[in-house]
């Protein structure tokens, strides 16, 4: 009974925290994005005096937002998938094999996380030039993959280590092909990790600024590069709010989809002992 | 399906898990690999299943060398100690997994699976996930899943060690009955000597990576070849000494032995082969009433032996007791051995 009490209190506290941290800024962004240019929203008004979609129209028509959306919305999922695929072998080795230098390798792989994004971006840009990669889209994609690989490796190696040898052996023993072994013994255990890693890479990639800006300059735009353009010397909060909302839409959709997928997933990790 | 293991050795770095193991299993036989932990019995099972490639030697099934055959192509099925069920698949799907991999026609899979589930009393749990079942039920699913591929050899890796004592006895009997009914060859790994004696046609006792002795349960029990075997299986009384003119001098008196004269020999006898009254004598140091029988610990000099006499007898600590042994029941061991008592 007491335990239930505590969890109820915790649940309420977390709901409040989420409300203040997420719902209020989100609501503010929505309102700021709909402030009518003719009726500015200023103190002491609690709500904007007049709402309109004028800002949305302006941003849409005066910036390269359509191209930027195309870039960002495709960059994020492609970066997610590529990062997962490239991280999988390393994660497998970390999670399932023993080799000399493993502990060091696990630390070394985290180094990109320690470097500030701008530092990486500046030198990454010059590296790309000397490699002769001038195409902006693959260059930025490559940058994102390098930058977010550590997250994927980290998450997936934990998932790989949770796969039980016995279950893998059981599948092989019953005549399963490598693909079927993966489907029966690996995938159910890896699934939450795959989703989590994909979500993280997706969200980080869609809001990434340093590489997209430095490598992509001047002609390659993503949603964050437009967003930052409103946040510099010419600070335009209303337009920034519009872009920020556009930025967040795919994240929310992806969260909801993954949530649904994970819920329908069957219990994957099991002790096996009863 | 018959199985032959020839000079199989497995080495992990500098550690020899198996040193030249030889064994033959007849078609339809139920054999156990018995031994203390670390003796290599599970390693040997993994070699038979194909999960582990032996460093040396050959594995043959029905005369065919399968040493290089991958596990998925071998005609074996394993029952794991951890059950290793697929947690995201229902009981029915778990059992159907094997035949599906082996491309058995669909309607036959359905029939085979239903029949096995009925046989195991799992039909009412067919749509449940393994997590929802008890340990004994999960064990049955694991067995049904292994049998569903109609394997020539079923490998059991200590399948009962996660069950409580009562259930263990029950499942043990079920496994043996099923094996007789279906007729598969079984290789069963256990560290429990009672399990091995109760279930097997033949016991292979492993110690430090070699087969120390093999034979029918009775033979292993009553005719141990080495002091390790005598000690590991059941309770044994060991004496070390000189055999002369068919007797060995012990603190209890002269022990009749059927064996040639020798200087340093170990002899062994089981507590239950003793009879009360005879030319051996000692003082009772402890007695434990077990219902049907009475365990007596009898000392003389610096040695203690264990006797098992009918429960109708009564002894107090300190009583003198005389007992005798048929020389037929005293086994001369091959090694020099040791006496712990």
| Chain B residue with minimum CA distance to A176 | B101
The CATH homologous superfamily of the domain defined by B3-222: P-loop containing nucleotide triphosphate hydrolases (3.40.50.300)
Contacts of B254 (CB under 8 A, 6+ apart): B247, B248, B279
- Output DSSP code: residue A222: -
Q: Say if CB A240 and CB A230 are below 8 A apart.
A: yes
- Output DSSP code: residue A98: -
Distance from CA of B258 to the nearest CA of A (A): 50
Question: What pLDDT was estimated at residue B215?
Answer: 93
Under the banding of pLDDT at 50, 70 and 90, the label for residue A233 is: confident
- Please give the structure tokens belonging to residue B23: 């064994």
Contact at CB, A267 and B78, closer than 8 angstroms: no
At residue B200, what are phi and psi to the nearest 5 degrees?
A: -90, 155
**Which of B42, B43, B71 has the highest number of chain A CBs within 10 A, making it the mutation to test binding with A?**
B71
- Cα angle B90, B94, B99 (rounded to 5 degrees) comes to 140
User: What is the residue-wise DSSP string for B181-229?
Assistant: HH--EEEEEES-HHHHHHH-SEEEEEETTEEEEEE-HHHHHHS-SSHHH
Q: Say if CB A216 and CB A68 are below 8 A apart.
A: no
Average of pLDDT values for A65-79? Answer: 91
| Chain A residue with minimum CA distance to B136 | A274
Task: Quote the mean pLDDT of chain A.
Answer: 86
* A38 pLDDT higher than 50: yes
| E strand or H helix at B31 | strand B30-34
Under the banding of pLDDT at 50, 70 and 90, the label for residue A270 is: very low
Cα→Cα distances A268→A256, B83, B201, Å:
20, 15, 39
Taking the CB of residue B16, how many other CB atoms lie within 10 A of it?
A: 16
* A263 pLDDT higher than 80: no
Distance from CA of B72 to the nearest CA of A (A): 4
Of A124, A117, A115, give the one whose Cα is nearest residue A142.
A124
| Chain B residue with minimum CA distance to A167 | B84
CATH architecture classification, B235-332 = Beta Barrel (2.40)
Question: What pLDDT was estimated at residue A268?
Answer: 47
B207-231 as b/e: b if 16+ CB within 10 A: bebbbbbbbebeebbbebbbbbbbb
Of A154, A155, A172, give the one whose Cα is nearest residue A164.
A172
Contact at CB, A174 and B149, closer than 8 angstroms: yes
Contact at CB, A180 and B70, closer than 8 angstroms: no
Which three-class secondary structure state does DSSP give residue B80? coil
pLDDT in tens, chain B (341 residues): 889 999 999 998 889 899 999 999 999 999 999 999 888 899 999 999 999 999 999 999 988 999 889 998 999 999 999 999 999 999 999 999 999 998 899 999 999 999 999 988 899 999 999 999 998 899 889 999 999 999 999 999 998 888 888 888 888 888 899 899 888 999 999 998 889 999 999 999 999 899 999 999 999 998 999 989 998 988 889 998 888 888 898 999 999 888 788 888 889 999 989 999 888 999 999 999 988 899 999 999 889 999 999 988 888 898 999 999 999 889 988 876 444 43
Contact at CB, B84 and A170, closer than 8 angstroms: yes
Q: Give pLDDT tens digits for A118-158.
A: 888 888 888 888 888 888 899 999 999 988 999 999 999 99
- Cα separation, B121 vs B141, in Å, equals 10
Question: What pLDDT was estimated at residue A264?
Answer: 59
* A70 pLDDT higher than 60: yes
Question: What pLDDT was estimated at residue B221?
Answer: 92
Which residues of chain A make contact with B83, given a CB cutoff of 8 A? 272-274
- Cα separation, B199 vs B220, in Å, equals 13
Contact at CB, B87 and A172, closer than 8 angstroms: no
- Cα separation, B67 vs B57, in Å, equals 8
Which residues of chain B make contact with A164, given a CB cutoff of 8 A? 82, 84
Long-range contacts of A53-62 (CB under 8 A, 24+ apart): A55/A238, A55/A239, A55/A241, A55/A242, A56/A242, A58/A239, A59/A226, A59/A239, A59/A242, A59/A243
ipTM: 0.81
Q: Please tell me whether the peptide bond between A17 and the residue prior to it is cis, using omega within 30 degrees of 0.
A: no
- Cα separation, B35 vs B217, in Å, equals 14
Residue B86 sits at the chain A interface (C-beta within 8 Å):
yes
Question: What pLDDT was estimated at residue A21?
Answer: 86
- Output DSSP code: residue A53: S
Residue in A164, A166, A176 closest to B101 by CB: A176
* A87 pLDDT higher than 90: yes
Under the banding of pLDDT at 50, 70 and 90, the label for residue A2 is: low
Q: Say if CB B256 and CB B327 are below 8 A apart.
A: yes
* A43 pLDDT higher than 80: no
Of B101, B223, B194, B271, give the one whose Cα is nearest residue A178.
B101
- Cα separation, A245 vs A237, in Å, equals 12
For chain B, helix (H) and strand (E) counts, in that order, are: 8, 19
């Amino acid at each position: 009974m007491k335990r239930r009490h505590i969890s109820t209190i915790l649940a309420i506290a977390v709901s409040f925290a989420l409300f203040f941290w997420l719902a209020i800024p989100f609501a503010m962004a929505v309102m700021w994005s709909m402030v009518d240019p003719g009726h500015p929203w200023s103190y002491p008004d609690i709500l904007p005096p007049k709402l309109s979609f004028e800002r949305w129209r302006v941003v849409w028509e005066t910036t390269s937002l359509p191209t930027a959306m195309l870039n960002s919305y495709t960059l994020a999922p492609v970066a997610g998938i590529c990062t997962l695929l490239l991280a999988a072998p390393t994660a497998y080795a970390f999670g399932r094999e023993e080799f000399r230098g493993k502990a060091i390798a696990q630390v070394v792989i985290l180094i990109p996380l320690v470097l500030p994004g701008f530092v990486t971006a500046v030198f990454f840009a010059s590296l790309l030039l000397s490699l002769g990669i001038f195409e902006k889209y693959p260059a930025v994609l490559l940058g994102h993959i390098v930058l977010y690989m550590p997250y994927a490796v980290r998450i997936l190696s934990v998932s790989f280590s949770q796969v039980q040898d016995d279950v893998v052996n059981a599948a092989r023993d019953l005549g399963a092909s490598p693909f079927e072994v993966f489907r029966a013994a690996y995938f159910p255990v890896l699934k939450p990790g795959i989703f989590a890693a994909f979500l993280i890479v997706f969200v980080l990639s869609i809001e990434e600024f340093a590489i997209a800006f430095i490598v992509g300059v001047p002609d390659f735009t993503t949603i964050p590069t437009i967003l930052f353009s409103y946040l510099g010397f010419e600070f335009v909060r209303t337009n920034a709010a519009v872009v920020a909302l556009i930025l967040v839409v795919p994240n929310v959709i992806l969260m909801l989809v993954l949530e649904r997928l994970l819920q329908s997933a069957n219990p994957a990790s099991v002790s096996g002992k009863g | 399906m018959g199985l032959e293991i020839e000079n199989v050795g497995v080495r992990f770095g500098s550690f020899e898990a198996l040193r030249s193991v030889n064994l033959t299993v007849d078609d339809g036989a139920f054999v156990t690999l018995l031994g203390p932990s670390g003796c290599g019995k599970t390693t040997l099972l993994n070699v038979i299943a194909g999960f582990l490639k032996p460093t040396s030697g050959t594995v043959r099934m029905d005369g065919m060398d399968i040493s290089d055959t991958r596990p998925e192509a071998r005609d074996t099925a394993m029952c794991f100690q951890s059950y290793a069920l697929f947690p995201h698949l229902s009981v029915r799907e778990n059992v159907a997994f094997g035949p599906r991999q082996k491309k058995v026609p669909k309607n036959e899979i359905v029939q085979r699976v239903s029949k096995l589930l009925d046989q195991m009393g799992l039909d009412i749990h067919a749509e449940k996930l393994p997590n929802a079942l008890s340990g004994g039920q999960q064990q049955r699913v694991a067995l049904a899943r292994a049998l569903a591929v109609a394997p020539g050899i079923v490998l059991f890796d200590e399948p009962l060690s996660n069950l409580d004592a009562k259930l263990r006895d029950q499942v043990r009997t079920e496994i043996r009955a099923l094996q007789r009914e279906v007729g598969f060859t079984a290789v069963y790994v256990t560290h429990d000597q009672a399990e091995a004696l109760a279930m097997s046609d033949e016991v292979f006792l492993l110690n430090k990576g070699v087969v120390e002795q093999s034979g029918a349960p009775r033979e292993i029990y009553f005719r141990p070849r080495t002091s390790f075997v005598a000690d590991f299986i059941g309770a044994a009384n060991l004496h070390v000494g000189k055999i002369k003119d068919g007797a060995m001098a012990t603190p209890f008196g002269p022990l009749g032995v059927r064996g040639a004269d020798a200087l340093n020999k170990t002899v062994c006898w089981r507590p239950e082969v003793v009879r009360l009254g005879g030319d051996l004598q000692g003082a009772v140091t402890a007695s434990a009433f077990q219902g049907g029988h009475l365990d007596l610990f009898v000392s003389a000099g610096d040695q203690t032996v264990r006797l098992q006499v009918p429960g109708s007898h009564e002894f107090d600590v300190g009583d003198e007791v005389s007992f005798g042994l048929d020389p037929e029941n005293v086994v001369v061991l091959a090694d020099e051995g040791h006496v712990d008592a």
